[in-house]
Amino acid sequence: MSTATVRDLATLQIDVWTDFACPACYLAKPRLDAAIAGTGRSGQIAVRYRAWELFPEATELPFDSFEYVIRKFGGDEARASRLEQRMGDLAQAQGQPYLVHHPIANSLDAHRALKLAAEYGRDAVFIDRLQRDLFGSGTDVFDTRYLVAVAADLGIPAERTDAALAGNGYADEVRADQARARGLGLTGIPFTVLAGKQAIVGVASADGFRRAIEAALTGEGNDR
Amino acid sequence: MSERKLTVLPIDTDAYCDPETGMCAVPAAQACSAAVTADGPAGADDPGGTDSAASAATSPPPSRERR
């Protein structure tokens, strides 16, 4: 069954605005997955990952995340370290590796590749793979060669990823996601929208996500 | 999905990232990579490190002009 068909049949549509470079999104993904599984109605729920670029001005040349944080703190390295440690603790508490030093670069190509992955029903695993490699191994997941290789690993023909990234493939879709988010009043990511009506801004607990999803499933439903 | 404002659910959250600055906030004024709001959303600069950032995550800051 195609992903589109699953979405058509779903009782509840969940839209998640996310970015690969977003540590909060990294934390949220397994919690949302667990929440959906916890409802016992995952077959009635469709998740669509939508693009948000946290660093749209960034180039393809990676910069160090920790250096970025220090700059934002006016050079206060101790404070930056303390705060990064807290994020690492949150990640490790749920079994996710987290490197303080990981690269950040422009994520447009990664989002474009994600759109292609969604056509193959591989978007969720694509996100998991990229974020694990980014936050867990410090891999430059924004690199075109990396994106093509990972997509191929996940069953997406390399020639399709190559062609999309060499041209402007899916760029309009990425921009449309971001325009839609602004229209909806996005104030933070991850930005999880249930049935096009209710939003959760940030990383809820798995139980918090689950309760909200269950309420949406038994409530007004999907207004797509 | 219709283009309209949504109802933001009052659910406690552990972290979020500011869509405009890329900075993130976590409870107790602690933050993440690409993250940490020194001057950004919601009292994340609170030296007491209380739950101001957590509160911010629950009640996100108003939108600001894009850079």
pLDDT digits (tens, 9 = 90+) for B28-61: 544 444 444 433 333 333 333 322 222 233 334 4
How does pLDDT run across A75-95, given as a tens digit for each residue?
889 888 887 888 899 999 999
Tell me the nearest-neighbour CA distance from B53 into chain A, angstroms.
Answer: 11
How does pLDDT run across A102-127, given as a tens digit for each residue?
999 999 999 999 999 999 999 999 99
Cβ pair A108, A174 in contact under 8 A:
yes
This prediction has a pTM of 0.83
Strand, coil or helix: A56? coil
Region A159-184: mean pLDDT is 97
Backbone angles phi, psi at A33, to 5 degrees: -60, -45
A205 close contact with B: CB closer than 8 A: yes
Chain A residues closer than 8 Å to B18 by CB:
188
A204 close contact with B: CB closer than 8 A: yes
Mutation choice for B interface testing from A32, A67, A87 by most B CBs within 10 A: A87
Q: Is the confidence at residue A64, as pLDDT, over 80?
A: yes
Spatial separation of the C-alpha atoms in residues B38 and A87, rounded to whole Å: 15
CB contact under 8 A, B57 and A203: yes
Laid out side by side, the sheet with A45-51 consists of: A45-51, A12-18, A191-194, A198-201, B7-8
Split at pLDDT 50, 70, 90, the class of B66 is very low
Split at pLDDT 50, 70, 90, the class of B27 is low
Split at pLDDT 50, 70, 90, the class of A185 is very high
Following DSSP, what letter does each residue of A9-28 receive, concatenated?
H-SEEEEEEE-TT-HHHHHH
**Res B26: pLDDT:** 81
Backbone angles phi, psi at A82, to 5 degrees: -60, -45
Q: Please, which residues have CB within 8 angstroms of residue A162's CB and are 6 or more apart in sequence?
A: A148
A198 close contact with B: CB closer than 8 A: yes
Spatial separation of the C-alpha atoms in residues B57 and A27, rounded to whole Å: 14
Count Cβ atoms below 10 Å from residue A175 Cβ, excluding itself.
Answer: 14
Region A49-72: mean pLDDT is 94
Residue type, A209: F
> Average pLDDT, whole number, for chain A?
93
A185 close contact with B: CB closer than 8 A: yes
Cβ pair B30, B49 in contact under 8 A:
yes
Percent of chain A with pLDDT over 70: 93
CA A49 to chain centre: 7
A102 close contact with B: CB closer than 8 A: yes
